[in-house]
């Protein structure tokens, strides 16, 4: 048997796509085609502050481990915020950037980051990343949104754990253990029978009176504006649809004073390579007999989950954002038997729309011992705050008390 070999690649193109995908599984964001499109279109490339340093592990000539790793010149596009750490480094006269980052660029979605079939190869990847960080003399190594098996390997290697919060919608009894099932008491969380909502009204009936009324009002205002919706998936999404989507996507970023991270070329490229994963929610309004698109949202349907990614519109209407981003995606999940809709990063306003808090994870290594100890203390306090925050959010969940009949006012 040949010894294992760890290599560093300055492009994912240097790693066999079939072997990578075999390790990565079916989630779109981890597939070779998706990551290569980010790199090839310049969205996650050195000029944008994302310099690929992918790791691979080979044994007996076969790829047994891989890791999406980047040398970063900034912290944009990550959704796990360490700007305060960078500022503290600078005030202490030290350089925080570049740093090493293991993540899917611009994608706050959980999943494997140490792509390997065995715990042994995960450990090799962690050791390889730490060795690379030391060799490059960077300030730190960060792994964002790792899955459970990854977290165990990272903890064993001494990396510090950090938590955050997102809001996800669960299709009735499909919530994972420890998560709140809509309409269930907290001590019954995760104890659903696996049944799914037959329609949106059944989901709405689990809400208390005030929240149910609010959702109905928001949806009614959109209908009264004459806006109707279509869902387009895969190859049904035309180049014209993609052009309209990109116009809306870019405008949303610019309205918030930011430059879009992704290009139309990227979306067209990845949609051609992996078409079946994309769902375009298209809001349209008739104007003088002509149907005009006025809003859209792009979702990714991968396995038993739908991921809300981007949205935008050319007109303002009350309730349009919530209808386009959340209610239509929930309707799509119910119609297609999907278990979970992930509504993206942050946003307490999602709680009132039926998305409940879920704890997210990241792992961190810092080269400077004293700074690492200070961050470790901070993370312990932050974790206690996160636990309290999630408990408080669940206390304000919009669902009826356990045992109340459907549609009961509470």
- Would you place residue 400 in the very low, low, confident or very high pLDDT band (cuts 50, 70, 90)? confident
Residue 38: left (phi > 0), alpha (psi -120 to 50), or beta? alpha
Residue 176 — very low, low, confident or very high, per pLDDT cuts 50/70/90?
very low
Residue 194, pLDDT score: 62
> CA quadruple 264, 269, 274, 276: dihedral positive or negative?
positive
The 3-state DSSP class for residue 363 equals strand
Q: What is the pLDDT of residue 182?
A: 43
Residue 269 has pLDDT above 80, yes or no: yes
**What region does 329 belong to: left with phi over 0, alpha with psi -120 to 50, or beta?**
alpha
User: Do 154 and 134 meet the contact criterion of CB atoms below 8 Å apart?
Assistant: no
Q: How confident is the model at residue 149 (pLDDT cuts 50, 70, 90)?
A: very high
**pTM confidence score:** 0.92
61 burial type by CB count under 10 A (0-12 exposed, 13-18 middle, 19+ buried): exposed
Reported as a single tens digit per residue, the pLDDT across 98-143 is 999 999 999 999 999 999 989 999 999 999 999 999 999 999 999 9
Query: Do the beta carbons of residue 363 and residue 163 sit within 8 Å?
Result: no
115-116 sheet: strands from edge to edge: 5-9, 54-59, 62-67, 115-116
Structure tokens at 165: 């919060």
pLDDT at residue 186 in the model: 32
Give the rounded percent of residues in the chain with a pLDDT score beyond 90.
87
Phi, psi of 290 (to 5 degrees): -110, 130
Q: How confident is the model at residue 93 (pLDDT cuts 50, 70, 90)?
A: very high
φ/ψ (deg, to 5) at 219: -70, -40
C-alpha span between 331 and 354 (Å, rounded): 12
In tens, the pLDDT along 178-195 reads 344 443 333 333 334 568
Q: Could you please report the per-residue DSSP string of 318-338?
A: TTHHHIIIIIHHHHHHHHTT-
Structural contact between residues 275 and 28, judged by C-beta atoms closer than 8 angstroms? no
pLDDT exceeds 90 at position 50: yes
Beta-carbon count within 10 A of 397 CB: 21
pLDDT at 216 exceeding the cut of 60: yes
| Mean pLDDT confidence for 195-209 | 96
Torsion of CA 258, 264, 266, 270, to 10 degrees: 130
Cβ neighbours of residue 21 closer than 8 Å, sequence gap 6 or more: 31, 32
For residue 61 the two structure tokens come to 């000539």
User: What's the pLDDT tens digit per position in 375-390?
Assistant: 999 999 999 999 999 9
Q: pLDDT (tens digit, 9 = 90+) per residue, 4-14?
A: 799 999 999 99
pLDDT of 308 strictly over 70: yes
Per-residue CA distances from 302 to 109, 111, 282, 364 (Å): 12, 12, 19, 28
What's the average model confidence in pLDDT over 293-305? 97
Kindly tell me if the per-residue pLDDT of 177 is higher than 90: no
Q: Please state, in angstroms and rounded to a whole number, the distance separating the CA atoms of residues 99 and 102.
A: 10
Mean pLDDT of the chain: 92
**Cα–Cα separations (whole angstroms), residue 362 to 55, 101, 163, 176:** 19, 11, 6, 19
The answer for residues whose C-beta is within 8 angstroms of residue 163's C-beta and 6 or more apart is 359, 360, 361, 362, 382, 383, 386
Can you tell me the distance from the alpha carbon of 54 to that of 37, in angstroms, rounded to the nearest whole number? 15
At residue 381, φ and ψ (nearest 5 deg) are: -65, -40
User: Which helix (H) or strand (E) element contains residue 388?
Assistant: helix 369-395
pLDDT confidence of residue 174 = 59
pLDDT of 72 > 90? The answer is yes
CA angle (32 as vertex; 27, 35 as ends), nearest 5: 90
Ordered domains of the chain (ranges, CATH): 5-158 (3.40.630), 197-338 (3.40.630.30)
């Amino acid at each position: 048997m040949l010894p294992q070999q760890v290599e560093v690649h300055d492009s994912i193109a240097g790693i066999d796509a079939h072997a990578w995908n075999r390790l990565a599984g079916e989630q779109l964001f981890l597939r070779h085609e998706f990551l290569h499109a980010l790199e090839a279109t310049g969205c996650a490339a050195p000029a944008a502050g994302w310099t690929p340093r992918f790791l691979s592990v080979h044994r007996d000539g076969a790829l047994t481990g891989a890791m999406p790793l980047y040398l970063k010149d900034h912290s944009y596009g990550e959704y796990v915020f360490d700007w305060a750490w960078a500022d503290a480094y600078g005030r202490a006269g030290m350089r925080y950037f570049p740093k090493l980052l293991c993540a899917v660029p611009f994608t706050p979605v959980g999943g494997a980051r140490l792509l390997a079939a065995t715990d042994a190869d995960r450990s090799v990847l962690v050791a390889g990343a730490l060795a690379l960080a030391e060799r490059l003399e960077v300030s730190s190594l960060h792994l964002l949104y790792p899955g459970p098996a990854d977290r165990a390997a990272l903890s064993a290697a001494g990396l510090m754990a950090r938590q955050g919060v997102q809001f996800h919608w669960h299709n009735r009894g499909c919530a994972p253990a420890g998560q709140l099932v809509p309409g269930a008491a907290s001590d019954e969380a995760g104890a659903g029978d696996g049944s799914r909502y037959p329609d949106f009204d059944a989901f709405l009936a689990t809400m208390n009176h005030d929240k149910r009324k609010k959702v109905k009002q928001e949806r009614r205002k959109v209908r009264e504006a004459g806006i109707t919706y279509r869902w387009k998936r895969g190859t049904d999404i035309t180049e014209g649809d993609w052009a309209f989507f990109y116009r809306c996507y870019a405008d949303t970023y610019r309205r918030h004073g930011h430059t879009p991270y992704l290009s139309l070329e990227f979306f067209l490229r990845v949609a051609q390579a992996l078409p079946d994963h994309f769902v375009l929610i298209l809001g349209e309004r008739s104007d003088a007999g002509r149907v005009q698109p006025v809003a859209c949202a792009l979702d990714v349907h991968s396995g038993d989950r739908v991921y809300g990614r981007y949205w935008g519109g050319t007109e303002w209407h009350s309730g349009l954002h919530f209808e386009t981003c959340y209610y239509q995606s929930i309707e799509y999940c119910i119609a297609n038997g999907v278990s979970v809709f992930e509504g993206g990063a942050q946003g307490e306003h999602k709680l009132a729309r039926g998305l409940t808090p879920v704890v997210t994870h990241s792992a961190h290594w810092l080269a400077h011992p004293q700074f690492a100890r200070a961050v470790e203390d901070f993370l312990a306090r932050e974790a206690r705050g996160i636990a309290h925050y999630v408990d408080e959010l669940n206390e304000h969940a919009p669902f009826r008390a356990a045992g109340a009949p459907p549609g009961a006012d509470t």
